[in-house]
Chains A and B, each alone.
Chain A
Amino acid sequence: MTRDELRHKSRCARETRTAAGLRISVCLGSPCVATGAEAVLRALRESYGDRAIEVIGTGCMGPCSRGPLIRIEDRRGNRAAYYEKTTPATAMATVRAHLEGLNPDQGRLPADLPFLIRQQRVVLANSGICDPESLASSLENGGYAALLHAIEKMAPEEVCHEISASGLRGRGGAGYPTGTKWELVRAAKSRRRYVVANGDEGDPGAFMDRTLMESDPHRLLEGMAIAAYAVGATQGFIYVRGEYPLAARRLRQAINEATRAGLLGPHILESGFSFTIRLRIGAGAFVCGEETALMASIMGRRGQPVIRPPYPAQRGLWNQSTLINNVETFGCIAPIISKGADWFKSIGVPGSSGTKVFSISGDVATVGVMEVPLGTPLRELVAMSGGISNGNFKAAQTGGASGGCIPASHLDTPMDYESLTSLGSIMGSGGLIIMNDRRCMADMARFFMRFCQDESCGKCVPCRAGTEQAAQLLRRITSGDATEDDLVKLEELCHLMGDASLCGLGMAAPTPVLGTLRWFRDEYQAHLRAGGCPTGVCDREKHPCHV
């Protein structure tokens, strides 16, 4: 594809959008597919596909627990109405009614649903809009315009500089400044350079990266290509966890399509810049989300971390300098290049610029994916998801198994990197699990410790044996057999794991325990010998997973 062809395609798209008629979009994110969205799409296509009505499958629209979702709007994208929990029959009836000029209420989401209207979509701008299985649809929505802009108008160092200036920080968890990382890779002495997208999203309750990969794979490819151009890489890898077959399929298709169109491969857009991307599928190990383990896995070795330094930017894949960023981080790149660092910086709060995608789940009315400016208070996120179901707010677990919890007294905490760190939690990848007051915090901590025990790679002792013993102690606490001494031992172990483990998995494994101990110590103490679980979750006989 030449530069002019790319421009032409985007322009054509804008023109077709002005045509009259209806457009029906069916959400094809994993949750909607799981609840039958494909049947809905098939039924609509068979009946309406060849008329003046456009029927497309799109990526995730957001409120996942209400799927299968469809959106009906005119071809200009106006007057959009969302319908939840559709079946082929209800979808057909709804569309029929729309054709008759009606606006049926059955299953329609309120037009002012906070979940939909209070978001600010930057990374997910095209999710739920474009067809993830079509390059043309991506181009219609501005795909690869940023890549073209970078190649045409910017020198690689300018791209790095722009990213640094935007204040973008890694969205994978630690929040390392992305621009700094790029500059390091760019400056590293290395024969070759690699760009790796970390799509091994393993935290319980996290599904932001999956949403992006499934909904707008070209956004990821474009971000990676810009990164490769900026740091001087020629080869990229996307590491997708094995549990995301749909994301892998769409990415593979996107890579093939982009390569055929000349947006990846040699001499991209008539420039001297060449970049290819290969897909790597994980085999179900949480630890492979740790960057050194991920690289080992890409190279075909056992997926376990190695000691840093050297950092990947110095010596990564095959001992070459390697840039590893989270999928969502790459998702931020194209908008920054298109709209500029200042625009990006104007979103969010100082120190945490831009937006963040959160996957909100647990005891809320609507489970799903939402993108808001960094620094949005937790209370607002809870309100957007429709409030707490079955009780009152008790705590929110941020950052999944590696994060801590935020109690009700801190509901107004702005969700940015520093505020969360000061509460002993982390931003993490953006998984947000909301718990109501029927949840037992010790039981929750036990669940996460068991998770880390299962996922420990076994290389270093504090993590391998520490998680095992800590899980044992937590089991004893929740089953009412523990003493004060056990609680002391548990805390000691947590500090050992946090300080002495080899990689991030072990260092972060105790965070859920330390977080719940910080805010809910009395609840732990109530469990101790002769006590009982205040919420009744851990009653010995009733406990479903008690062994």
Chain B
Amino acid sequence: MPRLSLTINGRAVKARQGETILGAARERGIFIPTLCNLDGLKPLGGCRICLVEVRGHPRPVPACATKVEEGMVVTTDSERVVSMRRMVVELLLAERNHQCPVCVMNNNCELQAVARLLGIDHVRYDFIAPRAVLDISHERFGIDHNRCILCRRCVRVCDEIEGAHTWDVNGRGAASRIISDLAEPWGLSGTCTDCGKCVQACPTGALFAKGTETTGKGTICLEKLVAWRQRREP
């Protein structure tokens, strides 16, 4: 396997052909934050948290989906990309209803971790506060769209690893929702194998296991939460 030489943050780095910038950086202990990326899944390049600057490219590129090239000069921590990451995380926090203290993933959440890492102490944008529902029709798991960041890790793990393709995305833009099968209740899904991979893949508290603490997803009083989230329209 040919080795390529590149520079990351001023350090000379050798990488394998076909490796991504993210992989090459990680191997050398250079940290690049990610959200939609999950090892073992095909890169999506959707969250834009892992954007890095490559000399010669007018725009930053996603480290998770960009292959290394000979002589590449990469900067992972320039002021420009860090400020982009901050804005992206702020946009995510404002997009749905992320109230950490009442979330099963508080302190285990990747979104929270990235926000903390980037030192985001407040969000400058308006909180959109969309009405999003919760589906706990599945016997063992639930999905709370209020906490979903549309990273599609569940969609990809279900498709690429489990091979069930129960999950997909419905609607577009900010109205996108993760759906099971053709927008049927999860519990009625004919394709779901109940494997729980999606729950493990979810970076936030959007997908959670009911009544167990072993997944690191905690437990919540579901009846109250559901009653609250699915209350009647005013």
List residues 160-196 of chain B with CB under 8 A from any CB of chain A: 168-169, 171-176
Q: A496-B84, A499-B60, A502-B48 are in contact. Are A489 and B173 (CB under 8 A)?
A: no
B103 interfacial contact with A, CB 8 Å: no
Assembly CA distance A462 to B65 (angstroms): 17
**Residues in A whose Cβ lies below 8 Å from that of B124:** 489
The answer, yes or no, to whether A73 is at the interface (CB within 8 Å) is no
Q: With A307-B62, A460-B47, A502-B46 in contact, do A489 and B125 touch (Cβ < 8 Å)?
A: yes
- Any A CB within 8 A of the CB of B115: no
Residues of A within 8 Å of B62, CB to CB, are 307
Closest B residue by C-beta to A286? B172
Classify the interface of chain A: helix, strand, loop or mixed.
helix
State whether the Cβ of A492 lies closer than 8 Å to any Cβ in chain B.
yes
Which residues of chain B come closer than 8 Å to A460, judged between CB atoms?
45-48
Tell me whether B87 and A496 are in contact (CB under 8 A): yes
Q: How far is the CA of A390 from the CA of B62 in the complex (A)?
A: 48
| B95 and A465 contacting across the interface, CB-CB below 8 Å | yes
A interface residues, how many (CB within 8 angstroms): 31
Partner of A465 from B44, B60, B92, B171 at Cβ < 8 Å = B92
With known contacts A462-B91, A500-B60, A500-B84, A467–B47 Cβ distance under 8 A = no
Shortest Cβ distance from B91 into chain A, in angstroms? 4
Q: Quick check: A469 and B173 within 8 Å, CB to CB?
A: no
Instruction: Tell me how far the C-beta of B182 lies from the nearest C-beta in chain A, rounded to whole angstroms.
Output: 13
Q: Which of B46, B84, B149 has the most CB of A within 10 A?
A: B46
Looking at chain B's contact residues, is the secondary structure mostly helix, strand, loop, or mixed?
loop
Contact of A458 with B169 in the complex, beta carbons under 8 Å: yes
Q: Which residues of chain A are near B176, meaning CB under 8 Å? A: 457-458, 464
A285 close to chain B: CB less than 8 A = yes
Cα distance A302–B178 in the bound complex, in angstroms: 13
- Number of contact residues on B: which range applies? 20 to 34
Question: Quick check: is B220 within 8 A (CB to CB) of the other chain?
Answer: no
Q: Contacting A502 at CB < 8 Å: which of B45, B168, B171, B175?
A: B45
B100 adjacent to chain A (CB < 8 Å): no
B150 touches A464 (CB 8 A): yes
* Chain B residues whose C-beta falls within 8 Å of the C-beta of A466 in the assembled complex: 91
Encoded as 1 (CB less than 8 Å from any B CB) or 0, chain A from 487 to 501 comes to: 001001100100111
Q: Does B38 contact A (CB under 8 A)?
A: no
Does A461 count as interface, using CB distance less than 8 angstroms? yes
| Cβ–Cβ contact A464 & B174, under 8 A | yes
In angstroms, Cα B91 to Cα A218, docked, is 47
- When C-beta atoms are compared, the residue in chain A nearest to B58 turns out to be A499
Check if A437 is an interface residue, CB within 8 A of chain B.
no
Q: Are B94 and A465 in contact (CB under 8 A)?
A: yes
Chain A residues whose C-beta falls within 8 Å of the C-beta of B172 in the assembled complex = 285, 287, 304, 455-458
Q: Answer whether residue B120 sits at the interface, using C-beta atoms and an 8 A cutoff.
A: no
Known pairs A307-B43, A469-B91; A453 contacts B125 (CB<8 A): no
> In the complex, which residues of chain B have a beta carbon less than 8 angstroms from the beta carbon of A468?
95, 128, 173-174
Give the residue of B43, B46, B91, B125 whose beta carbon is less than 8 angstroms from that of A459.
B46
Whether the pair A454, B84 counts as a contact (CB closer than 8 A) is no
A472 within 8 A of B: yes
CB distance from A509 to the nearest CB of B (A): 11
Cα-based distance from A190 to B171 in the complex (angstroms): 34
Known: A302-B168, A307-B62, A496-B88. A456 touches B125 (CB 8 A): no
9 contacts between A and B (CB under 8 A): A307-B44, A453-B173, A458-B175, A460-B46, A462-B48, A464-B95, A464-B174, A465-B92, A489-B124
The 10 A-B residue pairs whose C-beta atoms are closest, nearest first, are A458-B176, A465-B91, A456-B173, A307-B45, A465-B95, A468-B174, A469-B125, A459-B46, A307-B65, A460-B46
By a beta-carbon cutoff of 8 Å, the part of chain B in contact with chain A is: 43-48, 51, 59-60, 62, 65, 84, 87-88, 91-92, 94-95, 124-126, 128, 149-150, 152, 168-169, 171-176
- Given A493-B87, A500-B48, A502-B48, 8 new contacts (CB under 8 A): A453-B174, A455-B172, A458-B150, A462-B87, A464-B95, A467-B173, A469-B94, A500-B59
